[in-house]
Structure 1
């Protein structure tokens, strides 16, 4: 999928769209981006939504999910998927690093605990 800038003929309006892998417009995304354009949202806002919706639809496509039938668990998996580096989102990574591993400082204590003063 690709986020593409759109310039309106004979108009100063600028917008964004998302093209599918075969080059066609992704209809559900397009309808929402057109709505944002119609209510005069900033082109930068529309661009940000376009990128986020592209990520959402790539995630759904890779899992074989229909956007109209998403469960809460799918949304949680999407958030975890977003935390992966882009190179790891292709399915090659099956285990996320634990938060404990990343927040430990010296002596194996979590950063929030290390350096705390004791109350007397």
Structure 2
């Protein structure tokens, strides 16, 4: 996964997105950085949050966990 800088098409605001291993946008992550850009959060804030989301999804992928089904206990279990 890769965090990529983007310009919002409607407003030219800077935002960030996550590209998957195949190069396509990771849709399950895309909405939150777009939301933050829409409410005019700092590009640095959006970048930091997007990197955090990318790291979370990489962690889940390595543990073979679906983000919609993660339990509170899952991150702490050894895998």
Could you state the TM-score of these two structures normalised by the residue count of structure 2?
A: 0.88
Count of matched residue positions in the alignment of Structure 1 and Structure 2: 79
1:118 maps to none
Question: 1:6 Cα deviation (Å)?
Answer: 0.5
Residues 10 and 35 of structure 1, relative CA distance in 2, 3 Å threshold = closer
Residues 32 and 10 of structure 1, relative CA distance in 2, 3 Å threshold = closer
> Unaligned stretches of 5+ in structure 2?
none
Higher-Rg member (1/2): 1
SS across alignment from 2:5: strand
Question: 1:12 Cα deviation (Å)?
Answer: 4.1
Higher helix share: 1
* Inter-partner Cα distance in structure 1 for 2:28 and 2:10: 26
Higher strand share: 2
CA RMSD in angstroms, aligned pairs only: 2.0
> Unaligned stretches of 5+ in structure 1?
81-93, 95-120
Matches within 5 A, 1:17-32: 17-32=17-32
Question: 1:48 Cα deviation (Å)?
Answer: 0.2
